[in-house]
Amino acid sequence: MHNFFRVRVVGVCLLAIALGFPLTVFGETLVGKVVKVADGDTVTVLDGNQVQHRVRLTGIDAPESRQAFGKRSREALVALVAGRQVEVEWHKRDRYQRLVGKVIVDGTDANLAQLRAGLAWWYRQYAREQTPADRAIYAAAEAKAQVDQRGLWVDRDPVPPWDWRKQ
């Protein structure tokens, strides 16, 4: 019976991959307190065992610290999560060994809040790592912020961080 269950799980995973669904539903949840906000898309969370975890907010890319709106983006994230208890729904580690996930504070998706405030871009390059629902919500939030000219969208032609880093 154990082998049957294993085969079913593998089958479901292969089906999800074949259909193009992300496997984020198989991720983990970290619960802890935000003890540092590095910038508009990176925080440090202290868990119950007093272990610090660097977390990169998934689905967004905020302006770099020295870039236009970089300071405002960080300040907005500080106001939302600093010193607060959060849940991080994470699905992988990036090349810097940071957890990559959605930060939830009091039921609010902090990643999405950054987009709605116009203080981050929706990171389309990694959209396949999001659920279809999150992809749609994040895309709509960025578009609405842009139309409303919130945050970095007051600039006529803001430079995305991935282009700014190349310069």
Q: Which of 74, 98, 116, 142 is catalytic?
A: 98
Catalytic-residue membership of 6: no
**CA-to-CA distance for 136 and 154, rounded, in angstroms?**
23
Q: Which of 8, 28, 54, 64 is catalytic?
A: 64
Residue 53 parent element (H or E): strand 52-57
27 to each of 14, 48, 52, how far by Cα in Å? Answer: 16, 19, 19
Catalytic-residue membership of 156: no
Distance from the first to the final alpha carbon of the chain: 57
CA angle 111, 116, 119 (to 5 degrees): 75
Contact 67, 164 (CB under 8 A): yes
Catalytic-residue membership of 116: no
Buried b (16+ CB within 10 A) or exposed e, 19-38: eeebebeebeebebebeebe
Residues forming the active site: 56, 64, 98
